[in-house]
Chains A and B, each alone.
Chain A
Amino acid sequence: MLASYIPILIFIVIALSLPIVGLAVGWLVRPSKPNATKLMPYECGVDPESDSRDRFSVRFYIIAILFVVFDVETIFLFPWAIIYNQLPIFLFIEMVVFLGILIVGYFYVWKKGALEWV
């Protein structure tokens, strides 16, 4: 029974060795000539202005969480939508229930003003 897990073991070994081999080869091949510009953190090409370990406005987190919620909703909707015309009415009702709960959440978020930036 345990033998059937051998592919997973092989997969783990490959997954671990790929980055290690990649980094090792890079380290062996590349020339090492660091300078100030090279060591600078990359911020979309602009010179960094301050320390990146800064406090962010809590609004970013709210937006991020809302994004995750509605993103996951789409993930659930896609497979359902693809085989929609083969589904019994039952699964249609199930999805309506699911969306109904999410719509209540959306309404709540909207009325609480979480979607407004200022």
Chain B
Amino acid sequence: MSELPQISNPLEFFLFNGRAIGPQLHLILWGLGLLCIDFLIPKDKGRVGAFFAVGGILMASLHLYWLWGQSLASAFYGMITLDAFALFFDMLFLVAAFLAVLMSYRYMEVEEEQGGEYYALILFATSGMMFMAGAVDLVSLFIGLELMSISTYILVGFLKRSKRSNEASMKYFLLGAFSSGVILYGMSLLYGLSGSTNLDEIASRVSGLQDPTLLTLSLFMMMAGLCFKIAAVPFHMWVPDAYEGAPTSITAYMSVAVKAAAFAIFIRIFFVAFSDLREVDTLVLALIAMITITWGNVAAITQQNIKRLLAYSSISHAGFVLMGIVAGTQSGVTAAALYLLAYTFMNLGIWAVVILLRRQDIAGERLEDFDGLFFKHPAIAVLMLVFFLSLAGIPPLAGFIAKYFVFAAVLEVVFAEAGPNTSILVWLAVVAALNVVVSLYYYFRFVVAMFIKKDYLPAPLSFSGGLIVVLVITGILTVLIGIYPQPFIELARAASESLI
């Protein structure tokens, strides 16, 4: 047993570490405050909670901005790090939470499930993600993961009177808890092998192992659990059901933030703790990425429901992000981080349009609901087209830059013949490139409905100030990352540099 660190000056300890996890503390305290004042908010003024949550997110962002200028190395005796990688993902989570809250409040009124808990849970989930991004210790990593997961299990089932939502929550909870268990088993093996929970120490202690069998077992267990969280095939079964049943705003939030958080710990674990097993994990991850991209796209072709279609499309996008990890180089991590950033904006934009189509008596999820959108609301239809094109990876939009960097990272390794398994990387690039064409087809089924069919829309769309702000922000950034990607690439590069 190691000696507990002696804390000579508690006040100093709390001030220092409190500053280091300030953004998370802000989110948690504002969330708790929201729970306390929730009963004061009248039922019909539920959106007060949303503005309270926005306040918390803005305060956390300010604190994060301040932290960016400081160079605090780590906090809580190496449990949490504050490197550029963690700060990059913190920023991404805060942006996603901000946009998700803004697009929620009108939607939750339409669904008649407005409540302060909803926003408080979004804040708690976001703080969990930020703990995950900063975790360099298995314990803090797992606690962050559970804080995020448990909050999202509840959020998925937030439409209490909808059977679909309850079913989605149940499925997500059972499978999610199981996958957490598998991750935990992998962690326990890792701890048993190294005698430490700190990722850096684990890396240095397992590098001299004679027999890597148990280490490989631990690698595969954690890989399986994390692939579940990022929704990679063959651990994707829960995704269409959970995404379809959840409140649309939560689906949007899950498809970007939860996925990005899982990728953050995925990258950190595989590049720090398992750097010895690079050969094994590239081979397996390359296969998983290939299957994920293909299966996501093929299954999306026949979907008539936009939520299911976007669920499958998000599966295939997870495969593209995995390509960056498979490359295993610094540019690969840069590409993965950039992909997640671009994906946040384009995907949240598209979900915002889906929320717009949800009206009092109309689910607004089927293909037919998009018929003739262009003739009634040309601006919305054009924005939707921009997001679809970006998701498919057409220049000059964010999705193109993201895909370009992922492909470049993989091909760089292939041409340098630097790493092991270069032949499978070639196949990965070919399969992924072919799948881009497939994805264009199913996105364009919706574009055809919007622009060519001439049916009228039966009811006015549910516009709200927040939703318009979301559409403007996501629209601008989807185009901006496409035509002027330099600052975003710099951000992603700084993040990957701090890791490798």
CA distance A108 to B35 in the complex (A): 6
Query: How many contacting A-B pairs (Cβ < 8 A)?
Result: 20
User: Which A residues are in CB contact (< 8 Å) with B36?
Assistant: 104, 107-108
Q: How far is the CB of A25 from chain B (nearest CB, A)?
A: 36
Q: Is A8 an interface residue (CB 8 A)?
A: no
Within 8 A of A (CB), among B1-56: 7, 10, 13-14, 32, 35-36, 38-39
Interface of B is mostly: helix
Q: How far is the CB of A29 from chain B (nearest CB, A)?
A: 41
Is the beta-carbon distance between A93 and B10 smaller than 8 angstroms?
A: yes
Is the beta-carbon distance between A88 and B7 smaller than 8 angstroms?
A: yes
CA distance A90 to B14 in the complex (A): 9
Is the beta-carbon distance between A90 and B13 smaller than 8 angstroms?
A: yes
Q: How far is the CB of B109 from chain A (nearest CB, A)?
A: 20
Is the beta-carbon distance between B10 and A111 smaller than 8 angstroms?
A: no
CA distance A22 to B433 in the complex (A): 65
* Contacts known (A108-B38, A111-B39, A112-B39); A90 close to B7, Cβ less than 8 A: yes
User: Which B residues are in CB contact (< 8 Å) with A104?
Assistant: 32, 35-36
User: Which B residues are in CB contact (< 8 Å) with A89?
Assistant: 10
Q: How far is the CB of A44 from chain B (nearest CB, A)?
A: 33
CA distance A107 to B36 in the complex (A): 7
User: Which A residues are in CB contact (< 8 Å) with B32?
Assistant: 101, 104
CA distance A111 to B117 in the complex (A): 13
CA distance A89 to B13 in the complex (A): 12
User: Which B residues are in CB contact (< 8 Å) with A101?
Assistant: 32
CA distance A88 to B36 in the complex (A): 31
Q: How far is the CB of A76 from chain B (nearest CB, A)?
A: 15
Q: How far is the CB of A112 from chain B (nearest CB, A)?
A: 7
User: Which A residues are in CB contact (< 8 Å) with B35?
Assistant: 104-105, 108
Q: How far is the CB of B200 from chain A (nearest CB, A)?
A: 23
User: Which A residues are in CB contact (< 8 Å) with B7?
Assistant: 88, 90
CA distance A112 to B32 in the complex (A): 14
Q: How far is the CB of A107 from chain B (nearest CB, A)?
A: 6
Is the beta-carbon distance between B39 and A90 smaller than 8 angstroms?
A: no
User: Which B residues are in CB contact (< 8 Å) with A105?
Assistant: 35
Q: How far is the CB of B86 from chain A (nearest CB, A)?
A: 23
CA distance A89 to B35 in the complex (A): 29
Apart from the given pairs A93-B14, A108-B38, 18 other A-B contacts in the complex at a CB distance below 8 Å: A88-B7, A88-B10, A89-B10, A90-B7, A90-B10, A90-B13, A93-B10, A101-B32, A104-B32, A104-B35, A104-B36, A105-B35, A107-B36, A108-B35, A108-B36, A111-B38, A111-B39, A112-B39
Question: What are 5 A-B contacts with C-beta separation under 8 Å?
Answer: A90-B10, A93-B10, A108-B35, A111-B38, A112-B39
